[in-house]
Amino acid sequence: MGTWAYGKALQRGTVATVFEQAFDFGVVGYLILVSAGTRFFHGGAKLWLALALTTTALAMWIVGLIIRGIRCFADARIPADAQPTGYRRYVVELRDSNLLKPSVARQLLALSAARFFLLVLMAGQVTAAIHSSIPTWQLAAAMPFAVVAAVVGITPGGLGVTEFAIANALTLFGTPIIAGTQWAMANRLLSTAAGLSVGLVAVLFLLAQKLQRKAEKKRSDDPIAVAILTSNQVVDDVK
């Protein structure tokens, strides 16, 4: 996505990646307001869902206005026929790239919202795995606080900070602190186990590839094996 939107260099790809992740923080930011509004009005699942859908639709409209405003500001500061240098050159490249397009911004916002939805689905699976009675909407309402805690936490991977944040956030919406703490610990353990499992499969796959390359290299260095392979190919050609 980064190389398509803003060039082919590592620097441009990094800029585009940071730009894309900004939408994740944007979604989490307005969902915190949604959760705060639900708590303030003592609402439940219907209110949170209605506010979340409304703010997402509003964000889709606002992000287009923001992108257009940035392009207009860049056009006003740097004329199209100018030949800027220094940081202005990067501003022009960014202005003329696919990155600053309202359609791309809306797609990135939709992807960020979809990623949050997947987080909520995963949280629901954790609840089912430990046979907890925490409603899914409460997990969705507490999740933005956990994401922020994981980002600003000083511990590796937000260890402890994330669990503290989501357990206390769940209490705001009616979940007992014991149930919230149990869910947070189970979520950490299951997430860690899933990550280790995927990593183990990846390591085994890489080792298998390495052993296969060594075996192929050994066969290529063996003159007898090369002769047998050549004779088999000749027989196949004759047939």
Higher pLDDT, 56 or 11: 56
Which sign, positive or negative, has the C-alpha torsion 172, 173, 176, 180? negative
Q: 45 or 226, which is more confident?
A: 45
Residue 51, pLDDT above cutoff 90: yes
- Please write down the long-range contacts of 146-149, taking CB distance under 8 Å and 24 or more positions apart: 147/28, 147/119, 148/28, 148/32
Predicted confidence band at 102 (pLDDT cuts at 50, 70, 90)? confident
Mean pLDDT score, 35-57: 94
Instruction: Say if residues 4 and 98 touch (Cβ distance below 8 Å).
Output: yes
Residue 95 pLDDT greater than 90, yes or no: no
Q: Name the residue ranges covered by the structural domains of the chain.
A: 2-200
Instruction: Indicate if the pLDDT at residue 75 is higher than 60.
Output: yes
- pLDDT at position 4 is 47
Helix (H, G, I), strand (E, B) or coil at 154: coil
Q: How far apart are CA 89 and CA 11, in angstroms?
A: 14
Least confident range of 47-61, 100-114, 151-165: 151-165
Q: How far apart are alpha carbons 104 and 153 in whole angstroms?
A: 31
Q: Identify the weakest region by mean pLDDT among 44-58, 112-126, 190-204, 218-232.
A: 218-232
* Total-model pTM: 0.73
Looking at residues 198-212, what average pLDDT do you find?
90
Cα–Cα distance measured from residue 139 to residue 183, given in angstroms and rounded to the nearest whole number: 10
- Average pLDDT in the chain: 81
Closest CA to 137 of 175, 108, 104: 175
Residue 149, number of CB atoms within 10 A of its CB = 19
**Residue of 144, 125, 145 lying closest to 187 (CA atoms):** 125
Question: Using an 8 Å Cβ cutoff, are 163 and 126 in contact?
Answer: no
H helical segments located in 79-176: 87-96, 102-129, 136-152, 161-172
Percent of the chain's residues with pLDDT above 90? 43
Q: Above 80 in pLDDT, residue 87? A: no
Stronger pLDDT, 63 or 159, i.e. the higher one: 63
pLDDT, average across residues 55-61: 94
Q: 2 is written with which tokens?
A: 């980064």
Residue 55 near residue 137 (C-beta atoms within 8 A):
no
Residue 9: pLDDT above 90? no
